[in-house]
Amino acid sequence: MNDAQRRIIDLLEKFNNGTASPEEIGELDRWYASFESDPELTAGYTKEQLAAAREGMFRNIRRSAGERTDGGETRRKALRNALVSVIVVSVMTAVFFVFRVTPVFNVAQSSKLDVMPGKDVAVLTLSSGQRIDLNLAKNGRIYLKKGLEITKDANGEISYHEGKGTGQAASEMNTLTTPSGGQFRVVLADGTKVWLNAMSSLTFPSRFSDHKRPVALTGEAYFEVAKNKAKPFDVSTTNERVEVLGTHFNINAYADEQVQRTTLLEGSVRISNQRYQAQVTIAPGQQAEGGDGKLKIINVDAEGAAGWKDGLFVFNHTGIRPLMRQLSRWYNIDVVYQGDIKNRTFSGSIERSYTLLQVLDVLRISKVNFKVEKPAGPDHRSRLTLIP
């Protein structure tokens, strides 16, 4: 990294910390307006590559600021404010595409040490105990019995239907389970759509026959609940219960996280925490956190909380260890902390389609160092070691 690159990162850090002078803010504005013409920053890149980098930066702005960038001073101001507000990742992602960053890994060994991102992998377990590997199942009908039909489409989504001409199906409990490095989507019998994140499971009836629609979740899932006032939709986790009529929301209830988070994007939900004997109702843009003996409501970027279903890691002042837990689930790796790893937070977004090394290249700019080791052991999981 040359002196010009270090200067820009120093300015970004000052702005983020509130210590930048008016002159330094002006310097940032001038860089944002003309960074692609600075040979010290962009040597070796074509005009097309730089244009793509700038467009990538503007996509981050629109995602972060929630507004269009129309050009001129408004555009530069939005660029500065949005990028600086997500300095550790989103800004550094932009910097990563403009600057050549040399990885800490041996280039000749990168292909061997790299880890591919997760994919659509899951197992469906029927009430009979039969297990269906959905990654191997062909598109079309994958199950038909007692009036129940389960199909898989070209996008890797499974759907539940009443079988034609076979009578009404009895309600049976099914479980959809994703491994580390997997995700999947299911449309339940009532039309509710569920996105299941890595290392998660959803247990649900093959058809909803009573006055409620109960499902049970471990891990993380995003729900788009089909509206039905006569049948409330209930999601049970280890410690909480979420009741809805029809809405869009995300639940993060991993066992290795200190708190459970329920984030609402549309509608209204009521969360009951059995452990704390507490109950709250949240509105769109709010998140209920269960931890420290109580349920609390905070305002959040709701779209960001569910960004994983759209192919993004979205960090919002996320600590290094929670961030690493996300990477561990998605890339199916073990994470080891070596020495004194300083606690720091990250904000911004990174594509989940990146390989592990590509993600690490971005994070390394924020002075986080890593070592990736080849798989050792029967489960063939690579090991990611954080070093001071």
Of the two residues 92 and 156, the one the predictor is more confident about is: 156
Q: Percentage of the chain with pLDDT > 90?
A: 46
Report DSSP state, residue 104. Answer: S
Q: What integer pLDDT is reported at residue 37 of this predicted model?
A: 59
Domain residue extents for the chain: 3-98, 107-116+311-387
pLDDT in tens, 287-306: 999 877 789 999 998 998 99
Class of domain 107-116+311-387: alpha beta
Interior angle at CA 245, CA 243 and CA 246, nearest 5: 115
Mean pLDDT of 364-370: 74
Residues 340-360 have a mean pLDDT of 85
Euclidean distance between CA atoms 82 and 95, whole angstroms: 14
> Mean pLDDT, to the nearest integer, of 114-124?
95
CA neighbours within 13 Å on the CB side: how many for 259? 15
Task: Quick: pLDDT tens for 22-53.
Answer: 888 778 767 766 655 556 555 555 565 555 55
First to last CA, the chain: 19
Residue 206 has pLDDT above 90, yes or no: yes
The mean per-residue pLDDT over the stretch 241-255 comes to 94
Output the pLDDT for position 2: 56
| Whether the predicted pLDDT of 181 surpasses 80 | yes
Residue 234 near residue 175, CB atoms below 8 Å:
no
